[in-house]
Structure 1
Amino acid sequence: MPRVVLLGSSPGPDAAPAQSTPPAALTLPALPGCPTVIGKLHGQLASLDSAPVTIARTGDAPAYRGFPGSLVETSDLAGDLRAVADAVEHATENLLILPANSLIHDELIYQITKSKRGALALIAKEPHEEDENGDTIVPDVPIDEAEPEIGDRTWEDLPVRARASKSRVISVGSAYHAVTRPNAVLLGPLHLHHKHAPTLAEAARELADMAHLLGPEDDLVQLLVLGLVRRGVSVGIRGRRDLFFRRLVSQEQADESAAEMSMINEDRARLNNAVKGADGFFTTYFVSTYSRFIARWAARRGLTPNQVTLISIALGVAAAACFATGARAGMVAGGVLIYFAFVFDCVDGQVARYARKFGVLGAWLDATFDRFKEYVVFAGLAVGAAVSGVGDVWTLALIALSLQSGKHLLDFSFGAANRRKPPSPLPSVSLTISADTELRAALEQRKIARSGGIRGLLKMWSKAGKYRAVYWARKMIVFPIGERFAAIAIVSALFDARVTFLTLIIWGGIAATYTLTGRLMRSLA
């Protein structure tokens, strides 16, 4: 579970409209029980951290008293930064840092805290400027020639002083730090792996010493991300997508935001997010379109992921028994049953993600019995071939089994080895340097160094994935489990076991060759 740090002084009182009630103490009458913003947030975070650290200015501190956890009172921005450093420096758990005036969906908190990135920030990109025809206005000066700036534009009441690419934060600014063509704001939530906690603490203390150079509009979260980026930490990004987040600064805004939030179907978003985003073609279009609704039905009736896994196993064994009859009706029935065995194989994971029920046993059952179902079906097909007089296909079955086992071993071993490989470091630049020119130049040199040879070929192949045909071809060529079960179901129902095994061997051989080539290239890059 993460360690939670709430920032009661972000944005600071000098940046927010003058008011007697701190933003976190605003009420939400549109929500059940009419909670305060901070009260609702504490309720949401209780399952993550029962004793969060709250950092607030002395004048606002009474609004945070009476809630679980500790309260650290500060007097200015430098004190805020030092308090954050003290709170995170010795963290042994991952960190969730967010403003105390946040109105946010539970599902968005969950998704942010479950991120596998070392650092992740919630952002909103500034909309592109458009002309009278609705076309995007392209800047006259290319970004490579643009000069760093101290942005004075705002978006969602926050200064637009961050530059974000498609996957991470490139540069962050302040009243002192200039950014080349800023295009985004850092909304608030920041999730950080505990290995980066000392880096964040060190950067926060250095920024505290520079507080006289910073402005009243500088946001605390923005400054923390600035420190991380300048120290070479890769800060990934994500948007709100189909969920809600807003920092509240007035009662009028609180009323409007609570009403807007209630209009969003959080359960539908949670259900959609229970489906893996990188599944194969067959799974995406012929299973996940409806399996999520089975998952929700199962979860609401108390079925556990392990129970759904057992249903999938039973269907797989039943399919093998049908195949073993060797009769045409048995082959068709086996094809139907193996398809639904795969459907429930998808459902068990979706139930786990929707109901948030994860366990070591479930992960082991899912990984192990996927292979079991596949191999017992191979045996059923081979027995059925002998019974029906097709001939001895045990040799083909063993080749198909060996080929698939070798590919699984290759995937697991490469994944384990790749996790031990240290990531390529990002350049770092001193916080005392105002413009981000040096940082961008170092990033460009890194890009050039990584664009040659094998790494360049891999990058080109990755970029080709923006075309839908190439994307799905790459998904299908590796012969994922959905395509394998679909091939078994369709070919077995239409033809016989011999043709089924030949299909598995040919497609599996192509997949193994493609996978092995890719693994070798990535290992050498």
Structure 2
Amino acid sequence: MSTPSVAELRAVAQPQTTMNRRSGEHWAGLLYMRHLSIYATWLLAKTPITPNQVTGLMIVSGVAAGAVLALPGLWAALAAALLIQLYLLLDCSDGELARWTRRTSITGIYLDRVGHYFAEAALLIGLGFRASQTVPDWYTVLGFAAALGAILIKSETDLVDVARARSGLTAATEGSAGHFTSGRLGLARKVVGALRFHRVIQGIELSIIAVIAAVLDTWFSATRILVVACAIIALVQLILHLVSILASRRLS
């Protein structure tokens, strides 16, 4: 396939169904990364690299960010944040390249989900090691606990489709997540959602907060406070997310 122009590539690789979605797209993707990723995809389209190989690079970038974050110092935190930005860029480009080359596949979707699991867990584990004076100590444990919580939260979401498939139902729609059997629970979900506290344990936000914490470490143990906060948020979100799923119409 000949190399397309950026405009030709954008028409195929960034359809309105992708650009207009909200629940399936990170705010950073909508705000700036989709505007940058199309140029990375244009460069990748000139090479023999496959979409699944791009996803593999995405996974490596996310895990590497966690490993780098485990190192001391502000520069390590900055490097980890940059690696997470690369992870987000590749996360956008793999799908764009797949749509352009018509190589979309179940394997690609699976690897993409696995990459999100690995990257967020690695970053939280790295944060735990970063906060530790001796390895292991309680901050190491809290980092692993937060990582486990983040993985379980994602599992709760993915298991909805597993349960529906085994019951002979189609995948849940985006709208079903906002429909509840109880009006009070629906209102409570809106209030909790508006606070956005769950984003603290997500990769993009956490990498930025970790940099801020690294700067504040000069005056007090901000990174340690962040690790404790991540563990608490992961536990609370794990419970609230499960209640939200059970109370919604996603399982019906």
TM-score by length of 1: 0.36
Given residue 338 of structure 1, which amino acid in structure 2 is its aligned partner?
I
Q: Does 1:491 align with 2:234?
A: no
Q: How does 1:422-501 map to 2 (within 5 A)?
A: 455=181, 457=183, 473=193, 476=196, 479=199, 484-496=202-214, 497-501=223-227
Partner of 2:74: 328
Question: How many residue pairs get matched?
Answer: 221
Given residue 331 of structure 1, which amino acid in structure 2 is its aligned partner?
A
CA spacing shift, 1:284–1:341, aligned 2, 3 Å: same
Q: Does 1:520 align with 2:246?
A: yes
Partner of 1:304: 50
CA distance in 2, matches of 1:292, 1:508: 33
CA contact (8 A) 1:385 1:392 kept: no
Unmatched 5+ stretches in structure 2 = 1-6, 171-178, 215-222
Given residue 487 of structure 1, which amino acid in structure 2 is its aligned partner?
E
Identity fraction in percent: 21
Given residue 315 of structure 1, which amino acid in structure 2 is its aligned partner?
S
Which of residues 236, 261, 269 is equivalent to 2:11?
Answer: 269
Partner of 1:317: 63
| CA drift at 1:312 | 1.6
Partner of 1:290: 36
Which of residues 122, 139, 157 is equivalent to 1:376?
Answer: 122
Q: Work out which of the two has the higher radius of gyration on C-alpha atoms and give 1 or 2.
A: 1
CA distance in 2, matches of 1:454, 1:379: 34
| CA drift at 1:477 | 6.3
Given residue 504 of structure 1, which amino acid in structure 2 is its aligned partner?
C
CA distance in 2, matches of 1:456, 1:383: 42
TM-score by length of 2: 0.70
CA distance in 2, matches of 1:456, 1:320: 40
Given residue 356 of structure 1, which amino acid in structure 2 is its aligned partner?
R
CA spacing shift, 1:318–1:416, aligned 2, 3 Å: closer
**How big is each residue's C-alpha offset from its partner over 1:421-450, in whole Å with a ceiling of 9 and x where there is no partner?**
658xxxxxxxxxxxxxxxxxxxxxxxxxxx
| CA drift at 1:347 | 1.9
Q: How does 1:33-432 map to 2 (within 5 A)?
A: 267-273=9-15, 275=18, 277-278=21-22, 279-386=25-132, 392-419=138-165, 420=167
| CA drift at 1:493 | 0.7
Structure number with the bigger relative contact order (C-alpha 8 A, sep ≥ 6) is 2
**How big is each residue's C-alpha offset from its partner over 1:382-436, in whole Å with a ceiling of 9 and x where there is no partner?**
33333699x741121122122112212211222222343658xxxxxxxxxxxxx
CA distance in 2, matches of 1:275, 1:454: 26
| CA drift at 1:492 | 1.0
3-state SS of paired residue (1:393): helix
CA RMSD of superposed structures (Å):
3.7
Given residue 500 of structure 1, which amino acid in structure 2 is its aligned partner?
L
CA contact (8 A) 1:326 1:383 kept: no
| CA drift at 1:495 | 0.6
3-state SS of paired residue (1:303): coil
CA spacing shift, 1:406–1:292, aligned 2, 3 Å: same
**How big is each residue's C-alpha offset from its partner over 1:15-59, in whole Å with a ceiling of 9 and x where there is no partner?**
xxxxxxxxxxxxxxxxxxxxxxxxxxxxxxxxxxxxxxxxxxxxx
CA distance in 2, matches of 1:313, 1:325: 19
Partner of 1:224: none
CA distance in 2, matches of 1:499, 1:336: 23
CA contact (8 A) 2:65 2:122 kept: no
CA contact (8 A) 1:400 1:504 kept: yes
Give the helix-richer structure, 1 or 2.
2
CA spacing shift, 1:272–1:358, aligned 2, 3 Å: closer
CA contact (8 A) 1:317 1:377 kept: yes
| CA drift at 1:337 | 1.3
CA contact (8 A) 1:477 1:510 kept: no
CA spacing shift, 1:322–1:368, aligned 2, 3 Å: same
CA spacing shift, 1:505–1:499, aligned 2, 3 Å: same
CA contact (8 A) 1:275 1:288 kept: no
CA spacing shift, 1:416–1:314, aligned 2, 3 Å: closer
Given residue 489 of structure 1, which amino acid in structure 2 is its aligned partner?
S
3-state SS of paired residue (1:275): helix
CA distance in 1, matches of 2:124, 2:240: 23
CA distance in 2, matches of 1:365, 1:409: 14
Given residue 498 of structure 1, which amino acid in structure 2 is its aligned partner?
R
**How big is each residue's C-alpha offset from its partner over 1:251-298, in whole Å with a ceiling of 9 and x where there is no partner?**
xxxxxxxxxxxxxx7654323218362313233214223223322332
CA contact (8 A) 2:62 2:115 kept: no
Give the strand-richer structure, 1 or 2.
1
Partner of 1:217: none
CA spacing shift, 1:314–1:520, aligned 2, 3 Å: closer
